[in-house]
């Protein structure tokens, strides 16, 4: 049951992350657009990329939640801690190093005519100076929800 709880948390947590990211963009704290960033890795047309990217982000959120569940993360505190580690990895490795390696339409690779999105840069600072803090906060929120829901399911 813990796994199902974690997955339910992954679904809700992913929605909270997109919402938080939208609010931050609206408040001009960042230029981070998760659906566009993920979707343009697969599709070239912006509207299609955004819709597909939204689905992809949900899938990524569910996959990480399954990993949290498999690692036995249960409880709000444990979840928050796991989210902090996850966020630190996202800020230092996942976005700045791994994503540009697999993303075919990032400004870093090839000519500018093929590029649709800017590379995140070290600590994702290319999308705004608050990005490291924002990503940490969003991942802690995500982890807290995943861990909390898994804890409920385990109880």
Nearer to another protein (CB atom), residue 26 or residue 111: 26
Gap between the terminal Cα atoms of the chain: 9
CB of 54 to another protein, least distance (A): 5
CB of 51 to another protein, least distance (A): 4
> DSSP class of residue 21?
H
Do the beta carbons of residue 35 and residue 51 sit within 8 Å? Answer: yes
Q: Given the rule CB under 8 A, which of 51-59, 102-110, 113-121, 133-141 is the region that contacts another protein?
A: 51-59
Q: SS3 for 108?
A: coil
Do the beta carbons of residue 117 and residue 40 sit within 8 Å? Answer: yes
- Nearest residue to 34 via CA among 131, 144, 101: 131
Q: Which of 30, 40, 50, 144 binds another protein (CB under 8 A)?
A: 50
Nearer to another protein (CB atom), residue 21 or residue 96: 21
Distance of CA 134 to the CA centre of its chain: 11
Instruction: Confirm or reject binding of residue 99 to another protein (CB under 8 A).
Output: no
- Nearest residue to 121 via CA among 134, 111, 106: 106
Per the document, the length of the chain is 155
Task: State which of positions 53-82 bind another protein (CB under 8 A).
Answer: 53-54
Task: State which of positions 18-47 bind another protein (CB under 8 A).
Answer: 18-19, 22-23, 26, 35, 47
Instruction: Confirm or reject binding of residue 149 to another protein (CB under 8 A).
Output: yes
Residues of the shown chain interacting with another protein in the complex, contacts defined by CB under 8 A = 1, 4-5, 7-9, 11-12, 15-16, 18-19, 22-23, 26, 35, 47-48, 50-51, 53-54, 149, 152-153, 155
């Amino acid at each position: 049951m813990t796994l199902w709880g974690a997955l339910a948390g992954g679904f809700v947590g992913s929605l909270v992350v997109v919402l938080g990211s939208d609010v931050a963009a609206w408040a001009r704290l960042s230029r981070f657009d998760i659906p566009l960033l993920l979707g343009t890795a697969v599709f070239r047309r912006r509207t299609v990329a955004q819709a597909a990217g939204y689905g992809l982000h949900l899938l990524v959120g569910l996959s990480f939640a399954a990993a949290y569940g498999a690692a036995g993360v249960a409880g709000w505190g444990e979840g928050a801690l796991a989210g902090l580690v996850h966020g630190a990895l996202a800020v230092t490795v996942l976005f700045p190093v791994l994503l540009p390696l697999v993303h075919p339409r990032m400004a870093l690779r090839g000519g500018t005519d093929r590029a649709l999105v800017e590379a995140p840069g070290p600590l994702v600072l290319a999308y705004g100076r608050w990005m490291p803090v924002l990503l940490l906060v969003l991942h802690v929120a995500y982890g807290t929800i995943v861990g909390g829901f898994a804890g409920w399911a385990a109880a």
